[in-house]
Amino acid sequence: MKRFHIHVGVKNLDHSIQFYSSLFGQTPVKVKDDYAKWMLEDPRINFAISTRSNTEGIDHLGIQVDEASELSEITDRLKKADLGIYAEGTTTCCYAESSKAWVKDPSGIAWEAYQTMADVDVFSEKPKKTEVKANACCPPKVSSAKSCC
């Protein structure tokens, strides 16, 4: 099953946690010094905030999947849209190990499609030399793409 993902850059994490917890009627499922995440069921959204973004507001959007086959299906659709896939593969980002693909839509908004495999203790790790040379944890740093790291 798929879940819509929104990542918002914030200036003050504590104030933002308080606001979004009130808005959503629940506390985050994950809180770190620079990051918080809510896994909402109604609406089905993975909503994350962090102080790592270069700007305040929407950093990037995405679709989180449960199965590798779903990720493959979405990645294939992105390739057919001929918008350019920027980073594919396994990475550590936002305190999770995930397999990801990145693309920018025609308006320049960064989108990720990803499957989370495990929680980890670090926000991100640098990609290995064999991986795509993009900041695989966050939107790729090409043209006008924003970056959360």
The confidence score (pLDDT) of residue 138 equals 59
Q: Which pLDDT band holds residue 110 (cuts at 50, 70, 90)? A: confident
**Per-residue pLDDT for 9 more than 90?**
yes
Residue 146 in any domain: the answer is no
Residue 49 in any domain: the answer is yes
> Domain residues for 18?
3-119
Residue 38 in any domain: the answer is yes
Residue 37 in any domain: the answer is yes
Residue 138 in any domain: the answer is no
**Domains in the chain: how many in total?**
1
Helix count and strand count (H, E) for the chain? 2, 8
For residue 52, the domain's CATH number is 3.10.180.10
Averaged pLDDT of the chain:
78
Q: Provide mean pLDDT across the span 38-47.
A: 95
Q: Which pLDDT band holds residue 11 (cuts at 50, 70, 90)? A: very high
DSSP state of 34: T
Residues 6+ apart with CB under 8 A from 75: 85, 88, 101, 113
Residue 52 in any domain: the answer is yes
Residue 142 in any domain: the answer is no
Q: State the amino acid at position 58 in one-letter form.
A: I
Residue 21 in any domain: the answer is yes
The confidence score (pLDDT) of residue 123 equals 61
